[in-house]
Homo-oligomer: A and B are copies of this chain.
Amino acid sequence: MTTLDPLAASCPAPRAETERVLLGHGSGGQLSAALISNVLVPALGAAAPPGALEDAAVVAVDGVDIAVSTDAYVVSPLFFPGGDIGALAVHGTVNDLAMRAAMPVALAVAYVVEEGFPLADLRRVAASVGAAAVAAGVPVVTGDTKVVGRGAADGVFVITTGIGRRLPGVAPSATGAAPGDAVLLSGPIGRHGTTILSVREGLGFEVDISSDTQPLHRLVEAMVRVGGTAVHALRDPTRGGIASALGEIVGTVRDTDPGHVVVRTAVGSRRVLDMLVGEQLPRIC
């Protein structure tokens, strides 16, 4: 087993002022983590939050814990088997709240639209946002729409922010996994990414597969009802995939090799599963 620290070894943070943003900086993997930890959070200075970065922040307002999460959705293509950018934008933010055991109370939706984008497609995206929000039981309370010139955006980007109410008595956290914990997977691995791959223009790849995008807050509510405070950590792996999420939460958590995921393969051997370094497939969400 290697003794390399995967977070320190293969992923230099961009430093020189001549450096430029790469697609991999948006991958959700190591380059993303480096950009956030070494550039974006330090730049915030005293405005940055203390402690670990989570899928959603928890803020106390007049004694009530409010969960807040924001995500920009830039998936390409906009429409894919099993969903579209509108549904994905609702599900992703609802799920980020759910990872803090928070049930969605309200959504805010912003659109950045490229001039010339078909109005019918914008209506279709907005209707999908609405349908997904209704299905998740959360109203869209406010929004914004900006239009930029041709070539200044790619069709439409959808940015959703969710406000959530935390379930009482539990406080799952990204850093909450403890030695002895077992990891449960709630669904198949890589299905959404593979779906996007299958329909990505020019890739000439076809397979009968659809995205499993869906809201998970009711599943979390049921888990917490049964498991209570035994639910230590919840993650919704998207861009970095299961490998990056498992880099933080190991299948069985042992304190002998923190930061390393060891996979037992079908033939019984073991190998280290590293965090995603760069961008495997851009713009899956």
Q: Please report A residues at the B interface, Cβ cutoff 8 Å.
A: 14, 17-27, 32, 35-36, 39-40, 43-49, 53-54, 56-57, 59, 61-64, 66, 68-74, 76, 105-120, 122-123, 126-127, 129-131, 133-134, 138-149, 151-154, 157, 159, 161, 163, 165, 279, 282-283
Residues of B within 8 A of A143 (CB): 36, 40, 70
Residues of B within 8 A of A152 (CB): 74, 76, 153-154
CB-based contact B39/A142 at 8 Å: no
Q: How far is the CA of A42 from the CA of B139 in the complex (A)?
A: 13
Q: How far is the CA of A218 from the CA of B254 in the complex (A)?
A: 51
CB-based contact B106/A148 at 8 Å: no
Q: A61-B165, A123-B39, A154-B153 are in contact. Are A147 and B72 (CB under 8 A)?
A: no
Across the interface, A119 reaches (CB within 8 A) one of B21, B44, B105, B119, namely B21
Residues of B within 8 A of A157 (CB): 112, 146, 153, 157
- Please give me the residue from chain B that is nearest to A26 by CB atom: B147
Residues of B within 8 A of A123 (CB): 39, 43
Residues of B within 8 A of A163 (CB): 59, 61, 66, 68, 163
Residues of B within 8 A of A27 (CB): 147
- Please give me the residue from chain B that is nearest to A130 by CB atom: B44
**Most B Cβ at <10 Å: residue of A68, A74, A123, A144:** A144
10 closest A-B pairs by CB: A26-B147, A43-B126, A44-B130, A57-B141, A47-B133, A70-B108, A161-B161, A152-B154, A57-B142, A72-B110
Q: How far is the CA of A17 from the CA of B56 in the complex (A)?
A: 38
CB-based contact A106/B72 at 8 Å: no
CB-based contact B26/A68 at 8 Å: no
CB-based contact B44/A133 at 8 Å: yes
Across the interface, A108 reaches (CB within 8 A) one of B44, B68, B115, B141, namely B68
Q: How far is the CB of A133 from chain B (nearest CB, A)?
A: 4
* Interchain residue pairs with CB less than 8 A apart (12): A20-B115, A21-B114, A26-B146, A40-B122, A48-B140, A59-B163, A61-B105, A61-B165, A68-B108, A70-B144, A72-B145, A74-B146
